[in-house]
Amino acid sequence: MNWYYLTDESEKSLAPFFSKRILEAVMAGVAIVSAILTILWPRRPFSEIITAENEPIIFFVVFSATLIVNSYINLCCGGGDMIRKGYHIINYQADKPTYEKEIRFYRYGLVQFVLHTILLYMPFLPLLAMAVFNTAVPGVTIFMAACVLFTSSMFCRLTGFLIYLWRGRSSTFGYFVARFLMILFVFVTILPAPVINPLRILYLLNHHPIDSGHAFAIYMAFVSSVIIVLILWNNALVRRYRNKEGLEVQE
């Protein structure tokens, strides 16, 4: 894999690492989570909170805000929204083939998605650490919460990429479909299917860390299965495009 592709800010890349637009989006997200953390910061010693048996919600709220922000950023990165040019409400410039579309998915696209998803969480780590410090949740709970954040972002990243492969970057219909799927997964499922809702799992990890293992296992099994399906689906679409363009033969 040519590592230059990861930072190429041309329209050949869906989401170049360290591009100005992506960094601006991440910093805006950090500002939002920082404001929430400041508002919810306890005004009394943690020992008093524990004595009063009043579990602080700062862990749940900060992790949830980080999940929502990063899920949306990853959705945009997967669909190529962060590098769109000529944006005029509905019409965009003609799509150009991207590295993610021209290079084998397992060789480039999937590797890039995993690395970039992890990288996008780095600026939020100090805020998440402060939320953890003021809640004193067990280490295993922190690991579970990190898994929820990562899987949610990967789901949105792969969903955005799937819509891009299906409709391209110039589709207004695809733009709204991608966001509908994210809203459906992150928010709507909390009512009809709470067991697969990431926000509910974070709530359980905050308020019932000892008894939330079963719910977490069900969530991870379902979302991991969906992610695997999305990976296979995206790989099939990329391979079909490469066969159509004769790229498989060239390699």
Tens digit of each residue's pLDDT, the chain (251 residues)? 566 667 777 778 888 888 888 999 999 999 999 999 999 887 666 555 555 445 678 899 999 999 999 999 999 999 988 875 544 444 445 567 888 998 999 999 999 999 999 999 999 999 999 998 877 788 999 999 999 999 999 999 999 999 999 988 878 899 999 999 999 999 999 999 999 999 999 999 988 887 889 999 999 999 999 999 999 999 999 999 998 877 764 55
Strand partners, 91: 88
Residue 2: its pLDDT value, please?
A: 62
Map tokens 């579990």 to a residue. 55
Backbone dihedral angles phi then psi of residue 27, each to the nearest 5 degrees: -65, -35
How far apart are alpha carbons 237 and 226 in whole angstroms?
Answer: 16
Helix, strand, or coil here: 88? strand
Distances (CA, A) of 201 to 138, 170, 204, 207, 235: 15, 35, 5, 10, 30
Q: What angle do CA 194, 196, 200 make, to 5 degrees?
A: 55
Instruction: Give, for 131, the enclosing helix (H) or strand (E).
Output: helix 125-133
For residues 95 and 50, what is the distance between their CA atoms, to the nearest angstrom? 56
> Residue 27 in contact with residue 127, Cβ under 8 Å?
no
**Among the listed residues 102, 78, 79, the one whose alpha carbon sits nearest the alpha carbon of residue 173:** 79
pTM score, two decimals?
Answer: 0.90
Return the closest-CA partner of residue 129 out of 142, 138, 148, 110.
Answer: 142
Q: 234: part of which helix (H) or strand (E)? A: helix 213-245
